[in-house]
Chain A
Amino acid sequence: MASHGVSRSSGTAVRTEEARQKELQQIAAYKDLTNVVNKKIAEKEYTLDVLGLVTKLLNENPEYYTIWNHRRRILSALFAGSTAENDSNGSAEQLIQDDILLTFALLRKFPKCYWIWNHRDWLLNKAESELGADTGRQLWAGELQIVSKMLHVDSRNFHAWSYRRFVVQQLKRLASTTHAQTMSTKTLTESEFDYTTKMIKTNLSNFSAWHNRSKLIPLLLDERNADSTARRTLLASELDLICEAINTDPFDQSIWFYHQYLMSTLSPNCPPSDQIVQDLSNSERQKYYEHEMEYIREILDDEADCKWIYEALLFLARAYLEVEAGTKLFTTKDMRAWLDELNRLDPLRRGRWRDLADRLNI
């Protein structure tokens, strides 16, 4: 009902009578299976056999959310029974392992299906309560590798990135309640930061990775107990990284949004928890803005038709004027010229440039 990226020609061909009959048989078989599953669940027949039918149905249609609920109903009942001597219900460990395999196989086929990700989340939480914190932590740690595999296939998968952050949270929670203590927590933020570096180096255009980086930096600085020098060092290395990226592909908007992020942390209005350097003076701010402006103006020599450059220059000019009224670095005439370029290069957003001109009163 919500199809994405399916070509119309693949679906509009008139079905032959044979194909029609075949489809009717498929429908009958599918409806039989759903009827049997729903009937057994209504009768609370929470057994391994019914679990098998549920697996079959989910393989045919993983979007059928009610069936995932049924699966959890059955599993909960089996977990509750598995402590008894009745081993034919399968051990909790075996059941969980089976579901980990099932959901991974399904995620590979349907990487954007919310219900599969949800089930996995439920499963791992259950594993913790059924099998203990140590096994729980091992399983959560394994999830990081699974997510990496998913992101290797689609580096922008929204669900995978969300799940990744969630898994990290769980690992941190477990570390703080067990003996693993702070060392491993520190390592985790560091390794996640390294992971974003790796993803960015593979593909500069991966905004999901840049975004995650922006969320990790405050944690990283906190955990490192970074002093004001260390904070300046990190800012400098981030600026180096992004300037190199800008130089490589100035037409990629992911990069410019990250640049905007770094600049936004310099603003006096930035909440202290989001600041990279926390003791900036206004003259220091000016120096950062000046440095960026000069660097970006240099790129202009080769890329005069890149609208992002003019947008960034205007952004920097406004940031500069926020902390210091007068400068020889740029004039109102420069700002007017940058706006003209935006109008020329980016007519889709003409209304925005008009509003900006009004706001800047130029």
Chain B
Amino acid sequence: MSLVSGPGRAMSSMPSELKLCVEKHVSYIQSLDTRKDELEYWLTEHLRLNGLYWGLTALHLLGHPEALPRAGILEFLFSCLHENGGFGAAPGHDPHMLYTVSAVQILATLDAFDDLDSYAIDGRQKVAQCRSYIASLQDPESGTFAGDEWGEKDTRFLYGALNALSLMGFMHLVDVDKAVQHVHSCVNFDGAYGTSPGAESHSGQVFTCLGALTIAGRLDLVDREKLGAWLSERQLKSGGLNGRPEKTEDVCYSWWVMSSLAMIEKLHWIDGEKLASFILQCQDSEHGGLADSPGNMVDVFHTVFGLAGLSLLKYPGLVEVDPVYCMPREVTRRCLGK
């Protein structure tokens, strides 16, 4: 893609505060589980397993895959697993698609599917159950997926299901055609997608819908020019990207918008140099981590999506990310065999 030559060259001429503070980000992520004397740590327990996926992926992209202990991660992961095969956010939290997908992504990243028995009794069998848990959440009528037994439906869950099942090679457990039809029914006149049929286009939902279509091999249904135009208009003067027309920029959209542009091969429709510089300005260069916008509080969510964005922009030194899965490309290549 034509962006390759862009940011790479620009970085060398950038002031030092606009260089990626790799070591700082690594220690920031390592410190996350040591903050148990902060109320915020406990108030965010419902995101713990997602947080582990975000942190682990960030470390892999930074080229420090060993910075979190593998055994500790797997032990925690099993403590979130329920009888029905679903994972909760943390021990004692109910099973839900969002955490089950994170669990599968972590297992794939750690290449752990084959040695699960050494971490839990019947570990392999227990994790195998999560495939049927995921499949059971498909709504046979509409083809979309619920998040859990309580039934909230959203294209986020549909994407998550296809993401996890494809990583495990078990796509045949669900009705992929129906899922594809559902995604297609969420498209709007601007070529972009919403959470459900009739809902307003939103970059996050564009990512999930395009991701699902890519996994299903149905990008032929996408109006690439229209969608690419809508996505490219997400870039604002600061270089940052927003999620919908007339909204403010935010680092996490660096991922939702850019990965979508990458999937339809239109990444060169925005200015990569300016975007990279915006993302770098969102770093806390003292304590590590990235924030939603310059000067704000950092968190691991914006850290991984900022880094993944920089990786798509071929920022020097970062490991290549897969735009469909938000995981190291090497990992998805191993799981998918392509």
Q: Is the CB of A1 within 8 A of B274?
A: no
On chain B, the residues within 8 Å of A6 by CB distance are 296-297
Interface of B is mostly: loop
| Cβ B94 vs Cβ A69 within 8 A | yes
Q: Answer whether residue A26 sits at the interface, using C-beta atoms and an 8 A cutoff.
A: yes
Listed stretches B19-27, B159-167, B187-195; interface member:
B187-195
A254 and B296 contact, Cβ closer than 8 Å, known pairs A27-B37, A122-B150 = no
Q: Are A351 and B2 in contact (CB under 8 A)?
A: yes
**Is B139 part of the contact surface with A, judged by Cβ < 8 Å?**
no
Q: Which residues of B contact A214 (CB under 8 A)?
A: 188-189
Q: Which chain A residues in 190-233 approach chain B with CB under 8 Å?
A: 205-208, 211-212, 214-215
CB-based contact B235/A348 at 8 Å? yes
Known: A30-B39, A61-B43. A208 touches B274 (CB 8 A): no
A7→B201 contact, CB < 8 A: no
Q: Which residue of B lies closest to A209 (CB)?
A: B200
Is A261 a contact partner of B189 (Cβ separation < 8 A)?
A: yes
- How many Cβ-Cβ contacts under 8 Å join chain A to chain B? 154
On chain A, the residues within 8 Å of B45 by CB distance are: 64
The residue from A11, A65, A211 contacting B46, defined by CB atoms under 8 A apart? A65
CB neighbours (8 Å) of B239 from chain A are 348
Q: Which residues of B contact A26 (CB under 8 A)?
A: 39
Chain A interface helix/strand/loop/mixed? helix
> Which among B37, B198, B271 is the interface contact of A347 at CB below 8 angstroms?
B271
Q: Shortest distance in angstroms between A296's beta carbon and chain B's nearest beta carbon?
A: 17
Distance between Cα atoms of A152 and B171 in the complex (Å): 44
B88 interface hit (Cβ, 8 Å): yes
State which residues 63-108 of B face A: CB under 8 Å. Answer: 88-89, 92-94, 96
Report whether A348 and B271 are in contact in the complex, using a CB–CB cutoff of 8 Å. yes
Determine whether the beta carbon of B46 is less than 8 Å from that of A261: no
- Give how many B residues have a beta carbon under 8 Å from the other chain's beta carbons: 67
A274 at the interface (CB under 8 A from B): yes
Q: Which of A97-105, A158-166, A176-184 contacts the other chain?
A: A158-166
Q: Determine if B270 is an interface residue (Cβ-Cβ < 8 Å).
A: yes
Number of interface residues of A (CB under 8 A): 60
Most chain A CB within 10 A, of B46, B188, B200, is at: B200
Bound Cα distance A48, B34 (Å): 37
Q: Say yes or no: is B326 at the interface (Cβ < 8 Å to chain A).
A: no
Whether B296 and A8, one on each chain, are in contact in the complex, defined by CB atoms closer than 8 angstroms, is yes
**Within 8 Å of chain B (Cβ to Cβ): is A91?**
no
Task: Indicate whether B42 reaches chain A with its CB closer than 8 angstroms.
Answer: yes
List B contacts of A281 (CB < 8 A). Answer: none
Which A residues touch B42, using CB under 8 A?
Answer: 27, 30-31
Q: Is B152 an interface residue (CB 8 A)?
A: yes
B140 at interface, CB cutoff 8 A: no
B188 touches A7 (CB 8 A): no
**A8 and B284 contact, CB distance less than 8 A:** yes
- Interface 1/0 per residue, A56-89 and B, CB below 8 Å: 0000110111100100100000000000000000
Closest chain A residue to B189, Cβ basis: A261
Contact present for A352 and B246 (CB under 8 Å): no
Q: Assuming the A-B contacts A7-B295, A65-B46, are A264 and B189 also in contact, with contact meaning beta carbons closer than 8 angstroms in the complex?
A: yes
Q: What separation, in Å, do the CA atoms of A347 and B272 have in the docked complex?
A: 12
List chain A residues, Cβ under 8 A from B201: 211
Distance A27 CA – B295 CA, assembled complex (angstroms): 28
Question: Which single member of A1, A211, A260, A264 contacts B44 (CB below 8 Å)?
Answer: A1
Contact of A252 with B by CB under 8 A: yes
Task: List, sorted by A's number, 20 A–B pairs whose CB atoms are closer than 8 Å.
Answer: A1-B51, A1-B299, A2-B299, A2-B301, A4-B296, A7-B295, A9-B295, A20-B37, A23-B39, A27-B42, A63-B47, A66-B94, A161-B199, A162-B199, A208-B244, A211-B201, A260-B190, A349-B269, A350-B271, A352-B266
**What 4 pairs across the A-B complex have the smallest Cβ distances?**
A351-B268, A2-B301, A1-B44, A352-B269
